[in-house]
Amino acid sequence: MSEIVRSSGLRIDLPDGVVVNEVSPTPAPATRRGGRQYGPRPLPSAAPAPAPLVEALESQGLVAVDTLELDATPEVAAEVRGARPVARRVDLALDLGADEGAVVLVEQDGVYSWHLPDAVPEAAERRRGGGAGRQVRFSVDLGRPAASRDELKRRGFVSDFIVGKVRAYVLKFAVAWGTGKLMAYLERNVRKGLVDMSAGDPDRWSRLDALDTLGLPTGRPARVLLFIHGTFSSTLGSYGSLASTPEGEALLRNASERYDAVIGFDHPTLSLGPEENARELLDSLQAYPWPMPPHLDIVTYSRGGLVYRALAELLLPGSQWRPRIDRVVFVAVPNAGTHLAEPDNWHVLLDLYTNLASSAGTLLSKIPYLTIATKIFDELIQGLGALGKYLATQAITEGDVPGLAAMEPDGQFITTINRPQAGQPTVDTTYYCA
């Protein structure tokens, strides 16, 4: 066992047989974020560039203060190659200010796992805020699966170490302890409202402050195609990749020709439940003085399907404004909930979605004519950083993530929405596709 102290202040306890390869040896000027100064040190030109995922997370306020490359020594690699690796643990310690948090993102062969602090602040410490800083510790286990459900919740599902290099990104972020609902604070920058998708090119989709600007018909019902995005994402993040295939391009082009309006609905997916999202959607649609009720076709993805159901089954039956809803498409919608939304599985959800999104981003980046692949990827993961920060600083038993709680199979929302509701759509009055 040996100890290394990095210029970033990170302390590393290394087991025998594991070394740290230098990838960012020179300090850099601090970057001001959230009222404090800290920042990533640039990699030397000979070193690999930061992963696109890490660059995207930095736009969410997660700043890479150090990057490590952990590697097995040649003799250890030869010893365990072809056999089950023995357990080796790398311990990390980092000093934080009172208004800071940290996580470690581990990557090997393109597979990511979020590592959370061994302990989160006590509730009294979070309420008090300010005062002296503290030290957080992380354990990165190399060579064995999680030994218990508690360890799995802390480490995520990427556990087995394959002999080779492992890169660890140490990420700091600012925390505002006294803001009440922490998740609402973490999602405070998520855009809300309608999006004009009438342009076939997603790079030209824009915020729609009012439907008046669309030139909707007045002598007949307007035909509107509405897209509702999924968890962690946005309209561009969920649907922008349609432009990456000829079929998707044709869909967007035909939609613009056949509908009077093609719109999306941006909304936070963690700090609000589907019914609250649906109420904001209803308010946005009702704000336009429709000469006659519009005809809506709707495409929903993932949790967006629950937002639609809250609109159609819980809100519209009691509303004076009643559009005609013709066809609804459900793509991967958890209509019966998902066990990934249960608090014990939030870390697994975070790891799983991170890897799916990273793979999607890699595929998009290989399409030469898709000029906004990076922008789509950034939008695709816009909520990942918020959940990562929450798990690193908050006891998950407090259940302060209503957007996920609404998808629990036995939770209140799923239980309610799957009961008959007065005035809800029926089989005879709907055309649903899944």
What does the mean pLDDT of the chain come to? 83
CA-closest candidate to residue 353, choices 365, 338, 340: 340
> Can you tell me which residue has the tokens 């995005």?
229
Q: Mapping DSSP to helix (H, G, I), strand (E, B) and coil, where does residue 329 land?
A: strand
pLDDT at 364: 85
pLDDT classification of 362: cutoffs 50, 70, 90: confident
CA–CA gap between residue 316 and residue 314 (Å, rounded): 6
Is the pLDDT at 142 greater than 90? The verdict is no
Least confident residue range of 12-26, 212-226, 336-350:
12-26
pLDDT classification of 311: cutoffs 50, 70, 90: very high
Phi then psi for 341, rounded to 5 degrees? -85, -5
Structure tokens at 302: 């993932």
End-to-end CA distance of the chain: 55
Give span(s): CATH 3.40.50, the chain: 184-433
- What Rg do the C-alpha atoms of the chain give, in angstroms? 24
What does the pLDDT look like over 28-42, one tens digit per residue? Answer: 434 333 333 333 333
Q: Tell me, what amino acid is at 181?
A: K
- Between CA 242 and CA 152, with CA 380 as vertex, the angle to 5 degrees is 130
pLDDT at 39: 36
pLDDT at 94: 95
Is the pLDDT at 47 greater than 50? The verdict is no
Structure tokens at 339: 């066990």
The most confident of the ranges 58-62, 274-278, 342-346 is: 274-278
CA–CA gap between residue 208 and residue 197 (Å, rounded): 9
CA-closest candidate to residue 55, choices 44, 67, 45, 46: 67
* H helix and E strand count, the chain: 14, 18
pLDDT at 40: 37
The stretch 190-203 carries a mean pLDDT of 92
Domain 184-433 class, CATH top level: alpha beta
Give yes or no for a contact between 264 and 226, defined as CB atoms under 8 angstroms apart: yes
Q: What is the pTM of this model?
A: 0.84
Structure tokens at 194: 């309608």
Cβ-count burial 159-184 (b if 16+ within 10 Å, e if not): bebebeebbbbbbbbbbebeeeebbb
Give yes or no for a contact between 158 and 111, defined as CB atoms under 8 angstroms apart: yes
pLDDT at 31: 38
Is the pLDDT at 308 greater than 80? The verdict is yes
Is the pLDDT at 357 greater than 70? The verdict is yes
